[in-house]
Chain A
Amino acid sequence: MRNSKQTTRFFVLVAALTTGTTACGSYGDPCLRSTDCGSGFVCVEGACVIDLGDNPSDAAVGDAPGASDAPSSGDPATSDANRDASSEEASTPAADSASPDTTLDIASDGDAADISVLDAPRDTADAALPTEADVQAATDSGSGSNDAVSADVGDDADSSMVREAEDAADALAATG
Chain B
Amino acid sequence: MTRWTVSLATLLVTFSLAYSAAAQRLVTRAGIGIGSGLQRSDLIQEGLFQRARTRIVVPFDFRNDEDMSQGLAIVGIFEIEPKVGFGVEARYVRWLGKVVSCFVGIPAIIVPKTLVGIDVGVDLSLPLGKSGVAIFVEPSLAAMPLGTDLPGDHLLIWGLVSAGVHAQF
Contacts and interface: CB of A to CB of B under 8 A. Distances in A.
Contacts of B39: 32
A42 interface: yes
Contacts of A31: 43, 151
Contact of B38 (A20, A23, A33, A46): A20
Contacts of A47: 45
A53 to B, nearest CB: 16
A30 B150 contact: no
Interface in B104-143: 112-113, 115
B85 interface: yes
Given A32-B41, A46-B44, A20 B51 contact: yes
A43 B46 CA distance: 15
A21 interface: yes
Contacts of B38: 16-17, 20
Given A16-B38, A22-B50, A30-B46, A42 B82 contact: no
A34 B45 contact: no
Interface SS, A side: mixed
Given A32-B156, A33-B156, A36-B83, A17 B45 contact: no
B77 to A, nearest CB: 14
A35 B82 contact: no
Contacts of A25: 82-83
Nearest to A42: B151
B37 interface: yes
Interface string B28-45: 000000001111010111
A155 B41 CA distance: 72
Contacts of A21: 46-47, 50-51
B49 interface: yes
Interface in A1-53: 13, 16-17, 20-25, 30-36, 42-47
A22 B44 CA distance: 12
B148 interface: yes
A33 B49 contact: no
Contacts of A35: 83, 85, 112-113, 149
A77 B50 CA distance: 39
Given A17-B36, A30-B50, A44 B151 contact: yes
A36 to B, nearest CB: 6
Which of B36, B43, B151, B152 gathers most chain A CB within 10 Å?
A: B151
B45 to A, nearest CB: 5
12 contacts: A16-B49, A17-B36, A21-B46, A21-B50, A22-B51, A25-B83, A31-B43, A32-B43, A32-B151, A33-B149, A45-B43, A46-B43
Given A16-B38, A33-B115, A35-B85, 16 more contacts: A16-B51, A17-B51, A20-B47, A20-B50, A20-B51, A22-B51, A24-B82, A25-B83, A30-B44, A32-B43, A32-B151, A34-B149, A34-B150, A35-B83, A43-B151, A47-B45
| A-B CB proximity, top 9 nearest | A20-B51, A46-B43, A43-B151, A33-B149, A32-B41, A22-B51, A34-B149, A22-B82, A46-B45
